Structures are given as C-alpha cells and as structure tokens.
Amino acid sequence: MAASGVRVVQAAPAPSLLLLAFFLLPSFARGWGTDGHLIVCKIAQTRLTEAAREVVEALLPEYAAGDLSSLCSWPDHVKFRYPWSSPLHYIDTPDHLCNYDYNRDCRDVRTGEKGVCVAGAIRNYTDQLLHHKGPPFGQGQYNLTQALLFLSHFMGDIHQPLHVGFTSDKGGNTIDVDWFEKRQVLHQVWDSSIIESAKQRFYNDSVDGLIQDVNNNITGIWADQVPRWTTCGVGGPACPDVDATESINEACNWAYRNVTNGTTLGDEYFHASLPVVYQRLAQGGVRLASVLNRILWDGDED
C-alpha cells in the first residue's frame, strides 16, 4: 500500500488522484503488508472449527464470499476514516531494553492513554466478540464485523517483530536501509520485502505455494510446538502479552541486529530473517484460529 501510494504521487497525477493518494498514503507503514495479512488469515481459516466458521461467515459482508483473508487488510485502509484506530496497530517499547510490559508500554504515545496498543486492541475486540449472543448480529453496542476484521488483522500485526519495536525509531520506521538495491525503511523490509523476495525467488511470485509450505511445516516440523503456541498460561482466549514479548525478542535478535541507518541488507540478512518471518506468520495464523475457535459460538451452548 505504501509503495503504490508513492507511485501515484510520482506520476504527477490529476487532482482526484492526488486526493486518492493522500488517503492511501499511511503516515508510517505499520504491520505486515497485504501478503502477510493474507497468509495469516488463510492459515487461520483452514483451522477453524465448524461453529467458528459459521459465525465468521455470518459476520463477513456478502462480497467477501465467506473468505476472511480477503478483508484482513481492511484495518490498514481505514486508518484515515478512523484515526483512533491507527495507534492500535503496534507497541512502542523503551529503546534497547528488548522487553515488553503491558502496564508500561501499552499506551497511546501521543496522549498517554492506557491500553491503546495492539495488545489492548486484541483484548478489546476479543471481548466484544466473546459477549455476542449469536446471530442475528448488529443489535449490540459494537459492530462485530469490524471487531472480527480488527482482531484478525491485529493478531497478524502483533506477530510482526517490528510491531513491538523501539520508541525512538518508531519500530524501524526511521531507519533507512538498502534492501538489495532498493532504499526503504527497515520496518518495510519486515512488513513486506522479505516475504516479497521469498515469493519471487522460491514461489514463482505466487503466495499460494508459500502458504502451502507454511501449512506443511505447521503439521510437520513444528507439529510438536504448535500446542504450546496456543496455550495461554493466563487462561484467556488470547495471549497478546506473550505474542508481544516474543516479537520484541525477535526484533532485537534478528530485525535490529547489525542494522544501523544506511546499512545495506542482502542475502545474508535475508536468509537469516526468512525462517523467523515464516514462523511468525505460522504462529499468527495458528493463534488467530485458536482465539476465534474459543470465542465464536452459535449461541446455543449453555
């Protein structure tokens, strides 16, 4: 989305296009790119229980044709329409500490308001969906279609390591790097470029084979870890604090490692980072399914 916005601006557009570009341009690229969210939601969809799938299908607008993954980037497109939602995509942690604390870090950086971060948002939308009384929807206080889309998106975002990054560099958004020959910010490398390069090199530019391979690893080499991914020690339907802690650790161990302003990132960095990206996408998908399976039911139970 950031890339297409920039291209529109460079093309010396007509005023209407300029206006469009203004609405499309995010102030900072935040969160997995379109492919990342698609991958997380596709993985999740195949793991839903019958009951959860029915509720998901009932909540999705008709044009989605039952495909949650087709709308998993929606929250990135409404940051301007819903400015309150833009701080819900990430967490800024203190520089170089490499840890995360909900009470310390989950707040709106601009206003200081507590709970305004991706971990708080996951709790918020989980609660909204948990308290629904089954279909028909739309009679309560909240729009549960939006709750589903926000939750599905934020479960992806919290697994992007640089979503739980340092405060002063805005999660790698102010660190310029050369990704092979292309100048971009470090955050974008982790949102999109690593996935994009893997797609081009290994999957003939198609995301389907990549998703297939991640799914094969979930049922293969990662199979004995998967139950641990979905165990919430605190017993909640979601464990955003666990997810966020893992992300800041991965950010320090992999994303920020050996990178300063102006560093050129090439094959070595790509090959070191790709397994981390694959695993975070897998964990995001598996955990999204697990959360939805825990909270979505048809209203007939008890």
Ligand X SMILES: *[C@@H]1O[C@H](CO)[C@@H](O)[C@H](O)[C@H]1NC(C)=O
Site residues for ligand X per CB under 6 A = 61, 84, 88, 115-116, 120-121, 124, 138, 142-143, 145-146, 169, 174-176, 204, 210, 213-214, 217, 221, 257-258, 261, 268-269, 272, 278
**Which amino acid is residue 151, in one-letter code?**
L
Give the tokens for residue 64: 């989605």
Where does residue 299 fall: left (phi above 0), alpha (psi -120 to 50 degrees), or beta otherwise?
left
Nearer to ligand X, 16 or 110 (CB): 110
Phi and psi for 114 in degrees, rounded to 5?
A: -75, 150
Residue 79 beta carbon to ligand X: minimum distance, rounded to whole angstroms: 13
Nearer to ligand X, 48 or 60 (CB): 60
Nearer to ligand X, 22 or 202 (CB): 202
Residue 65 beta carbon to ligand X: minimum distance, rounded to whole angstroms: 15
**Which amino acid is residue 51, in one-letter code?**
A
Asked if 88 contacts 120 with a C-beta cutoff of 8 angstroms, the reply is yes
Q: Which of 89, 231, 59 is nearest to 159 (CA)?
A: 89
Beta-carbon count within 10 A of 280 CB: 24
Residue 140 beta carbon to ligand X: minimum distance, rounded to whole angstroms: 10
Residues 6+ apart with CB under 8 A from 295: 126, 129, 130, 237
Residue 229 beta carbon to ligand X: minimum distance, rounded to whole angstroms: 14
* Beta strand extents in the chain (DSSP E only): 91-93, 164-166, 176-179, 182-185, 264-265
Q: How far apart are CA 161 and CA 24, in angstroms?
A: 24
Residue 73 beta carbon to ligand X: minimum distance, rounded to whole angstroms: 13
Asked if 107 contacts 113 with a C-beta cutoff of 8 angstroms, the reply is yes
Residue 144 beta carbon to ligand X: minimum distance, rounded to whole angstroms: 8
Nearer to ligand X, 16 or 96 (CB): 96
Nearer to ligand X, 174 or 230 (CB): 174
Nearer to ligand X, 120 or 156 (CB): 120
Q: With both helix axes pointing from N to C terminus, report the angle between 144-157 and 267-295 in degrees, rounded to the nearest 10.
A: 150
